[in-house]
Amino acid sequence: MKTFKKIKKPRPGRKLFKIFQKGYTLMELLVTLAIISLLTVTMATLSLGNQDRILESAFNAESRQILYTLLQYQNEAMMDGCRRQVRFQDKSMSILWTKDKVMHQVLVPVNNFSFSGAYTGTNALVLYPQGTVSMAGTVTLTSPSGEVRHITVQLGNGRIYLDEP
């Protein structure tokens, strides 16, 4: 009678466990920690650079919004024949007008800059129904990071425009 030897089949996971049983040297752990630290510092630096770009983008977008709002109310004054008064406060723009004996006011808040220059304080920009304005001037928009944009209003033709960054 023949006897058969039982052949042990290797288990697929045994090699994996042998690798972990050896462990890591102190040098391997230090190199790994150094690489992780370097990646962390790099990611933090890149995210700070992106945050500056995001704030700059928000400042530019809000500057354009203020310009488009001014142009919209200038156009509405020409369409309905009622003049608009525009005042720039520290963190908002106020538009006042009277139509059919009813006084209207719109307050446009801003988050990314403050106003200075013409039409702040007691001065007001008046947008007439003919498309002209009461006086020429420049409103300075200053972001918290120091970036500056200017909205310029021309007398005569009433052109209102934002300088290019």
| Mean pLDDT to the nearest integer, 111-121 | 81
Look at residue 147 and tell me if it is in a domain.
Answer: yes
What is the average pLDDT across 135-153?
88
d(CA 57, CA 98): 35
- pLDDT interval class at 130 (50, 70, 90): very high
Domain membership flag for residue 145? yes
100 assigned to some structural domain: yes
Mean pLDDT of the 130-142 span: 89
Confidence at residue 17, expressed as pLDDT on a 0 to 100 scale: 52
Pair 97, 104: CB distance under 8 Å = yes
Domain housing 67: 44-162
pLDDT for residue 15 is more than 70: no
- CATH number for position 136: 3.55.40.10
Instruction: Work out whether the CA dihedral 163, 113, 122, 97 comes out positive or negative.
Output: positive
Residue 9 lies in a domain: no
pLDDT surpasses 80 at 52: no
Contact (Cβ atoms closer than 8 angstroms) between residue 155 and residue 136: yes
Q: Is residue 116 part of a domain?
A: yes
Residue 12: inside a domain: no
Query: How many distinct structural domains can be found in the chain?
Result: 1
The percent of residues above 90 in pLDDT, for the chain, comes to 29
- Is residue 20 in a domain? no
The structure tokens listed for 133 are 């304005």
Cα 79 to Cα 7, 75, 87, 160: the distances in Å are 97, 6, 21, 17
- Does the pTM surpass 0.75? The reply is no
